[in-house]
Amino acid sequence: MEICYFRALEKIIEVHIMNEDMKKYNEWKEYPERDTRGTIWYPPMLSPLDMDAIWEKRNIGFYVHVPFCKGICKYCPFNRYPWEENAAKLFVNSLKREIDIMSDIGYIKNSTIVAGYFGGGTPTSLSSEQLVDIISHIKDKFSVKENIEISLEANPATIDYEKLSALKQAGITRISLGIQSFNDSILKSMGCSHTASQAITAIETAKKVGFNSLNIDLLYNVPGQTVSDWEQDVLKTLSYDIDHVSPMCLFVDSQSKLFDEYYSSGNTVKQIEELELNMYEIAHNHFVNNGYHMYTLYDYAKPGKECEDHKLNWEAPQGEYFGMGPGAISHINNYVYVNKANPKEYSDIISLDKSPVGFGKKLSIVDQMSRFMVFGFYCLEVHKSEFQKKFGVSVETIFGDTLTKLSIQGLIEDYQGILKLTDKGMKYLYNVSSAFYQEDYKYYPENIKKKIQPKLTNQSS
Ligand code: SF4
């Protein structure tokens, strides 16, 4: 009896599929007319489909967090620990085991890895052999796209020609050098472990080894740094004709060693902000006038030299990636989660063959929509059609009030269906991005200004 019922339904659906003109079937009735049957799948109208489309491989990225540094910078807000040989050995073994665990997951097996990134900490605090071992293990265990871009952050004090050559040979295609400044006194004031001359040698060595994709990180708004100091760093950078630069404003975390020093100058928050904006404009103008374009909140690239990992993580619609290593963050299968941050705790869990995931959240549809906009604006623009395509509803329907408000404030504009930050919006990028936070999250991250201003008031009184 049941079988007959299903066959009958199948027949009905088949007829629906075959016939494009649904209107001639009058099967659906509105109350008070009584329907005599329902459907066993929804939506009831299907189109021809093949198996390959259902099980199409996803494109995802990976991130590896190396949590050690040979020296700890005063401003550092990252998950890092002083380098120690045995701890590093334990970490490498645990990481390889985590790679094994991840590669056994069906979702990952059915994915192609299209971008990779080694960050930290300082990945190059590990030896060449350890890094090559990790990279080879990743390539053995995952389905990795041919010619994949794999970036690796390097500290100038922990690289030489042999190490960079070994990394290139193993498959690293892009090096991101943590230069920060070409000024020794500024490097010293931040507690960096390298010197300006090591920074220059690092650039020259990376070029000599043949890295075609090279980034350098620069820091501005550092205590004691003048506008002229900063401009010198920018000009020096331009002289090396690097294809990618990330000038970042120093964020002084209230937990960092630099916090008290930074806010002991008696400057008001407003003065510090004005200096920061001035420095941003100097860098922006120099880079844009020299063939770079800004494509994220702090990345400038020559055409075609944008970092694959950054685009995957932030550009709307954001891609999926999984993080490995202590404190690594992942965004995959509609979850955002973070691994246990402490290397010892991380290794202890992995030694039990368990996943080191610490905290996370399954993203509701509202989270997904907010995330789309929050990170989309990190890449300076959001295509309205992409929002519609992903969520089946217009961005105006969901965020109409917020968009109108930001528009009236002159922070964004709708240019032919692309929501773009205005020049003013670029300076208020975090305000624009956080306008899309859900109400419960609006107090994240902590309001640093509220924390700082009383400190400054006390100093001046
Ligand atoms: S090198 Fe980077 S991660 Fe290490 S202490 Fe300095 S800022 Fe932090």
Judge whether 324 and 95 are in contact, CB under 8 Å: yes
- Does 323 reside within a domain? no
Please provide the average confidence, as pLDDT, over all residues in the chain: 90
Distance 82 CA to ligand 1 centre (A): 10
- How far is residue 339's CA from residue 98's CA, in Å, rounded to a whole number? 11
Q: State which amino acid sits at residue 362.
A: K
Please report the pLDDT score of residue 461 as a whole number. 38
Same domain as 72, residue 39: no
Is 17's pLDDT higher than 80?
Answer: no
- Does 419 reside within a domain? yes
pTM score > 0.75 for this model? yes
Please report the pLDDT score of residue 8 as a whole number. 54
Distance 253 CA to ligand 1 centre (A): 13
Report the relative pairing of strands 81-82 and 68-69 from DSSP bridges. Answer: parallel
Distance 255 CA to ligand 1 centre (A): 14
Name the residue with tokens 């690092």: 202
Question: What is the mean pLDDT of the segment spanning 331-357?
Answer: 97
Is 11's pLDDT higher than 60?
Answer: no
- Does 354 reside within a domain? no
- How far is residue 171's CA from residue 398's CA, in Å, rounded to a whole number? 43
Per-residue pLDDT of 20-71, as tens digits, reads 555 555 667 778 888 887 888 898 889 999 999 999 999 999 999 999 999 9
Q: At 459, is the pLDDT very low, low, confident or very high (cuts 50, 70, 90)?
A: very low
Please report the pLDDT score of residue 120 as a whole number. 94
Pocket test for ligand 1, best of 74, 75, 76, 256 (most atoms within 8 A of CB): 76
Distance 365 CA to ligand 1 centre (A): 36
- Does 26 reside within a domain? yes
What is the residue with the minimal CA distance to atom 2 of ligand 1? 121
Please report the pLDDT score of residue 22 as a whole number. 52
- How far is residue 128's CA from residue 165's CA, in Å, rounded to a whole number? 9
For ligand 1, whether the C-beta of 121 sits within 6 Å is yes
Is 406's pLDDT higher than 60?
Answer: yes
For ligand 1, whether the C-beta of 154 sits within 6 Å is no
- How far is residue 254's CA from residue 20's CA, in Å, rounded to a whole number? 63
Is 444's pLDDT higher than 70?
Answer: no
Structural domain of 269 = 58-314
Is 311's pLDDT higher than 50?
Answer: yes
Same domain as 283, residue 217: yes
| Least confident stretch, 21-30, 69-78, 266-275, 433-442 | 21-30
Same domain as 155, residue 304: yes
Report the nearest atom of ligand 1 relative to the CA of 191. 6
Q: How many domains does the chain have?
A: 3
| Least confident stretch, 53-57, 273-277, 332-336, 434-438 | 273-277
Same domain as 408, residue 305: no
Name the residue with tokens 């201003």: 453
Same domain as 269, residue 406: no
Same domain as 291, residue 154: yes
Pocket test for ligand 1, best of 80, 153, 248 (most atoms within 8 A of CB): 80
Please report the pLDDT score of residue 61 as a whole number. 98
Q: State which amino acid sits at residue 64.
A: V
Please report the pLDDT score of residue 400 as a whole number. 98
- How far is residue 149's CA from residue 369's CA, in Å, rounded to a whole number? 28
Q: At 450, is the pLDDT very low, low, confident or very high (cuts 50, 70, 90)?
A: low
Judge whether 60 and 111 are in contact, CB under 8 Å: yes
- How far is residue 431's CA from residue 79's CA, in Å, rounded to a whole number? 26
Q: At 229, is the pLDDT very low, low, confident or very high (cuts 50, 70, 90)?
A: very high
- How far is residue 235's CA from residue 225's CA, in Å, rounded to a whole number? 15
Please report the pLDDT score of residue 34 as a whole number. 83
Is 460's pLDDT higher than 50?
Answer: no
| Angle between the N-to-C axes of helices 269-289 and 227-239, in degrees from 0 to 180, rounded to the nearest 10 | 20
Judge whether 218 and 245 are in contact, CB under 8 Å: yes
- Does 358 reside within a domain? no
- Does 409 reside within a domain? yes
Same domain as 108, residue 13: no
3-class secondary structure per residue, the chain:
CHHHHHHHHHHHHHHHHHCCCHHHCCCCCCCCCCCCCCCCCCCCCCCCCCHHHHCCCEEEEEEEEECEECCCCCCCCCCCEECCHHHHHHHHHHHHHHHHHHHCCHHHHCEEEEEEEEEECCHHHCCHHHHHHHHHHHHHHCCEEEEEEEEEEECHHHCCHHHHHHHHHHCCCEEEEEEECCCHHHHHHCCCCCCHHHHHHHHHHHHHHCCCEEEEEEEECCCCCCHHHHHHHHHHHHHCCCCEEEEEECCCCCCCCCHHHHCCCCCCHHHHHHHHHHHHHHHHHHHHHCCCEEEECCEEECCCCCCHHHHHHHCCCCCEEEEECCCCEEEECCEEEEECCCHHHHHHHHHCCCCCEEEEEECCHHHHHHHHHHHHHHHCEEEHHHHHHHHCCCHHHHHHHHHHHHHHCCCEEEECCEEEECHHHHHCHHHHHHCCCCHHHCCCCCCHHHHHHHHHHHHHC
For ligand 1, whether the C-beta of 236 sits within 6 Å is no
Please report the pLDDT score of residue 2 as a whole number. 46
Question: What is the mean pLDDT of the segment spanning 354-383?
Answer: 97
Of the two residues 447 and 52, the one the predictor is more confident about is 52
Rg (CA), the chain: 26
For ligand 1, whether the C-beta of 72 sits within 6 Å is yes
Same domain as 270, residue 213: yes
Q: Which of 314, 331, 358 delimits the end of a domain?
A: 314
Distance 460 CA to ligand 1 centre (A): 32
What is the residue with the minimal CA distance to atom 8 of ligand 1? 76
Q: Which of 283, 314, 345 delimits the end of a domain?
A: 314
- Does 347 reside within a domain? no
Distance 353 CA to ligand 1 centre (A): 30
Please report the pLDDT score of residue 456 as a whole number. 47
For ligand 1, whether the C-beta of 69 sits within 6 Å is yes
- How far is residue 202's CA from residue 186's CA, in Å, rounded to a whole number? 18
- Does 418 reside within a domain? yes
For ligand 1, whether the C-beta of 180 sits within 6 Å is no
Judge whether 219 and 248 are in contact, CB under 8 Å: yes
